[in-house]
Structure 1
């Protein structure tokens, strides 16, 4: 199948929806989106990406009788970001929106985000109003991650994890420049600073169970920080140099004390001095190794592999070659 990287945008809007064990909610998601978009004149497509679901999600998707719907079945579970990235090359819309199947973002935001991209922005993101997630498991880690992400990317945006829309031109650049690990919005913000954020309604999840955990969120934030920050381990090096410098000063002070005051000195303070010197050298070494590893990783070229096992399309979602 010819990918969108080889053709101009043919539709107004493409919506990418990753699905992993969401059999109870995919039909509701499709109905809510089509009902919203049917009120407009937008020519659109919906691309569901089955990310190796182990439940009945794929069969539910294949039961949809809608020629605007495409279903990409991946060979195995690869995670939300890589699943969406795999679908980018199949989008034909002038606006590409990455959307969650849990309907926590009201479908009306799709029209609002599309309008912002149509007005000339490369990126349009939502800001969740009155967020309905738990504080300790979701909102607190998000606040920490938001700070780290803004520092790493050198931007000031308010809600990294909310629904996002991208221009077709930007999507093509993301496909060409993305690096492992795939994090679409981070790559987008690095490429373009032409973005806007708008408030979007956030709802409680009505069906299914969230696949996000605190550990997964922190892993994502750490990936972004190490992949995109200019000097991700500089603070470790500064701590190391600071401890080593204090150790040198303390050692010099101990030497002067023993030469001019008295030869006997507390072993605890000597031990603390040695600890500072070793600790400082250890942190400097760790930072140098970390910088070396990150630079090697960043120089690796992105080699696209075909993760799509089957591409279903058409009013009856007949099987086509990937």
Structure 2
């Protein structure tokens, strides 16, 4: 591998249970790459798939010497699978994309053209969200709004992992060791000069999405807590406000007792106060616990992923 010259372009494709999509993907991707008149490699990361994804990738590799397959020991998640692909990429320009053909391979030519103009990063911005309902689109808009207002890092709107990055950008990302891999935030955090193209997102070629509403919500919360400590700081302000109201209530009760004597209050107010404050404390502890858990993961220093086997062209 090391004796071969580095290609101009690396295409990285994380795969999890994408067996149906593999022949469709390469039937469309390889002709596009062959027409670009640049040397290239395709790196597919099998993220612990439970179907025949690995077998189909190795079948394609028998006829395509520029395909490299990384087989992870289990499912580590798309963000870490993408990190594995970036770490093993050798191209001067690197393009991550999905295996379901929602990212059209034809857009790579436009990104390469911008890269040759001298841009370090070329965003691929979707013109519309395809295959998503109203609730999912509203959730996405809400997430971007919250992230922009609570984080110092601004995410480009309607831009996913599909983009082109220069070699120096990829090297910078690879030097970031954090275990919480919110790649859209990491890509935005490193900066560099960027341009963008607009593409039309396609329908998923086959299979179903691996993200449900709960996973998307957790993913969004991970992204926010990875790039903002506002959820920690906001509870200080909420605590101060509640303490001020409680102090004001104490003053009112003292004045009431001095002028009107002692009455017998109902238990409802006590019950409401205890439940409200207890719930606030548990919520606060949950958010603090999430940050502490991240610190715990970082301190352990476990690897981001484990490679079961690296299938190089011409190998076993």
CA distance change for structure 1 residues 149 and 122 in 2, over 3 Å: closer, same or farther?
farther
CA displacement 1:24-67 (0-9 Å, x = unmatched): 11111112111112222121111111111121111111112111
SS in 1 for 2:151: helix
What residue is the counterpart of 2:189 in the other structure?
A: 190
Answering whether residue 42 of structure 2 is matched by residue 46 of structure 1, we say yes
Tell me the equivalent position of 1:130.
Answer: 128
Provide the TM-score with structure 2 as the length reference: 0.86
Paired residues for 1:118-157 under 5 Å? 118-136=116-134, 138-150=136-148, 151-157=150-156
Cα distance per residue 1:63-109 (max 9 Å; x no partner): 12111111111111111111111121211111111100100121111
Deviation at 1:289, TM superposition (A): 4.1
| Gap regions ≥5 residues in structure 2 | none
Deviation of 1:278 (Å): 4.1
Residues 299 and 207 of structure 1, relative CA distance in 2, 3 Å threshold: closer
Partner Cα distance (1:73, 1:283) in 2: 41
Partner of 2:66 in structure 1?
68
Structure 1 residue runs of 5 or longer lacking an equivalent are none
Match of 1:14? 10
Q: Are the equivalent residues in 2 in contact too, given 1:121–1:195 (CA < 8 A)?
A: yes
- 1:28 corresponds to which residue? 24
Q: Label 1:136 to 1:162 Cα distance change in 2 as closer, same or farther (>3 A).
A: farther
Mapped to 1, the partners of 2:58 and 2:133 lie a distance apart of 36
C-alpha displacement of 1:263: 3.2
Any idea what SS the aligned residue of 2:71 has?
Answer: strand
Q: TM-score, normalised by structure 1?
A: 0.84
User: In the alignment, is the contact (CA less than 8 A) between 2:81 and 2:305 conserved in 1?
Assistant: no
Residues 244 and 280 in structure 1, CA contact (< 8 A), matched pair in contact too: no
Deviation of 1:239 after TM superposition, in Å, equals: 1.7
Relative distance call for 1:274 and 1:219 in structure 2 (3 A) is: closer
Residues paired across the two proteins, number: 312
Shift of 1:287: 8.1
Residue 84 (structure 1) aligned to one of 53, 70, 82: 82
Q: Distance in 2 between matches of 1:76 and 1:209?
A: 20
User: Which residue in the other structure is 2:253 paired with?
Assistant: 254
Whole-angstrom CA distance in 1 between matches of 2:281 and 2:110: 52
> How much is the aligned-residue C-alpha RMSD, in angstroms?
3.0
SS at match of 2:206: coil
Q: CA deviation at 1:290?
A: 4.5
SS of 2:186's partner is helix
- The structural deviation recorded for 1:294 is 6.5
